[in-house]
Homo-oligomer: A and B are copies of this chain.
Amino acid sequence: MILELDRDSHTPLYAQIAIQIRGMITGGALKVGDRLPANRELSKVLGVNRTTVNTAYEELLADGLIESHVGRGTFISAIPSPPRRSWIKEPAPPPPIQWGPMLAGRKPDQWLSGMPRNLPAAEAVSLAFALPSPELFPIEEFRRSVDRVLRKEGSALLDHGSAAGYRPLREYVAQQASLSGRAVAPEQVLITSGCQQALSLIRQVLVRPGDEVIFETPTYPGALSVFCGYETKYSCIPVNEGGIDLVLLEEALAQRRPRLIYTIPSFHNPTGVTMDLASRRKLLDLALKYRVPIVEDDIYGELRYDGPSLPSLKALDEYGVVIYINSFSKIGFPGIRVGWIIADKTVIDALTVTKRANDLHTTLLSQAAIFEFSRRGLLAKHVKRIKKTYANRRDVMLSALEKYFPEEATWTHPEGGLSIWVTLPESINANQILIESMEKGVIFSPGEHFHANLSPANNMRLAFSTTNAQSIEESIKRLGAILKARIGALRKQDGGHGFEALRALV
């Protein structure tokens, strides 16, 4: 029996053997009653594992083509019916699986997944992402922290950990939170894979199909992906200069029974605005009055560059109505995916059960490394350094906006965070500006991603964190030129009359 095996083929060896034997039976080279070589013999001749020959024979056995008799050997027992399997050439294929209808039923995620991607060109400037700047990462110090914990804890870090998180990190987070407000116990802390997972877990635990949630508009696109992508209703409350509009919020609370209020009170994403102390108090009072939990996203909270620091809602929360979320993604490293939730122990317990069903626990290596890095004071040192750089970049961007942007545009002056929110005249669609600016090698995030209804918006979020001062100046100059040209064209178009009226609205 002559078999030829192709070791570079994607068809596994056992299948090649089975296919060829089958072919020999079909072709008449082997007849019913013929004896096949013993496994040991054939594997030796072909230079393959005995299990490979075994599997090939099992294939033929399963198809009823051969029979095995203990002590006597293996014999051809039937002639194959017309081939059916595709590794037998040219079968009649069944209709393909229609995945589309199976995967339907959820809105496509245009918020997070629709965010602009970085331009491939090396000279392109990205103002699109409110993220820390990788060139400032203290990679050597972090590498040493990783190495130190692996040497110290060894295999315990590679074994399963607790769903609630690495105990020393929970203690550290609790301790840090206690320093800046009221006492927090480690049992009130759940470690998550970033704020994104924190939001996802909170939705799974608190929001059932048909329930309603309240969030700010505009807001973080990742929150929209979590809250709008499922069978959830929502009310969007506008953000004004003092944060979420409390009058409209109270109206919504009085009319409906929402399951939660999601808010970013400090350096709100994308607007950069911060709620003052009195508004924070008022928001807590409303939550208590209407018995609706607040989910406080404090991810930018530590990145304050000027102005007096303010307590978080959680620090002011006497009755446990606030579920606080934060992460190391903006002050440390986004790629390690470590965040946390602080809440009433009952809530943390329920979230922990859900966390376990979601992914058992967050990788221990990331948790232990960032704990070590923080414990040794390296995180505090790093935060101090990046705050200086980001403050400078913000100032450069604000000056450049003043210098190059048309007078019809307005923008926020954030005391912290990573981005500035620009409002254009209403007749200008930021998506169209993005198309033009990409050609000029500049990207930013157009306003629509920050709104639940994704309506084209006259806003641009300009992140100043990941770009150096010179590139910020240059890119704002280019954006300014595009905007001025667009506004000039609009003015010309309607003879200036309609446009003046529009300007008055700005």
> Which A residues fall within an 8 A CB radius of B?
10-12, 14-15, 50-51, 54-55, 58-59, 61-62, 85-87, 91, 93-94, 96-100, 102-103, 105-106, 108-109, 112-113, 131, 134-135, 137, 139, 142-143, 146-147, 150-151, 154-161, 163, 178, 180-183, 192-194, 196-197, 200, 205-206, 208-209, 222, 225-226, 229, 231, 259, 276-278, 281, 288, 291, 293, 308-311, 315, 318-321, 333-338, 344, 346-347, 350, 353, 356-366, 369
Contacts and interface: CB of A to CB of B under 8 A. Distances in A.
A139 B112 contact: no
A165 to B, nearest CB: 13
A43 to B, nearest CB: 11
B62 A278 contact: yes
B363 A336 contact: yes
16 contacts: A11-B182, A12-B180, A12-B315, A55-B311, A58-B308, A62-B281, A94-B288, A103-B350, A134-B158, A158-B333, A158-B336, A160-B335, A193-B360, A225-B356, A336-B363, A363-B363
B150 A146 contact: yes
B143 A113 contact: no
Given A139-B155, A146-B150, 7 more contacts: A50-B308, A55-B277, A103-B350, A109-B356, A229-B357, A336-B364, A359-B359
Contacts of A365: 146, 335-336, 363, 365-366, 369
A55 B310 contact: yes
Contacts of A363: 193, 335-338, 362-363, 365-366
B359 A193 contact: yes
A139 B154 contact: yes
A196 B146 contact: no
A142 B158 contact: yes
A183 B357 contact: no
Contact of A112 (B10, B15, B86, B357): B357
Contact of A155 (B113, B137, B315): B137
Give the residue among A135, A200, A359, A369 with the most B Cβ atoms within 10 A: A359
A10 B85 CA distance: 72
B196 A113 contact: no
A436 B93 CA distance: 57
A197 B143 contact: no
Nearest to A210: B209
What are the 10 A-B residue pairs with the smallest beta carbon separation, nearest first?
A54-B308, A158-B333, A62-B278, A197-B359, A225-B357, A137-B155, A86-B318, A193-B359, A134-B155, A143-B150
A59 B11 CA distance: 74
Nearest to A180: B12
B99 A346 contact: yes
A318 B150 CA distance: 43
Contacts of A334: 158-160, 360
Contacts of A137: 154-155, 158-159
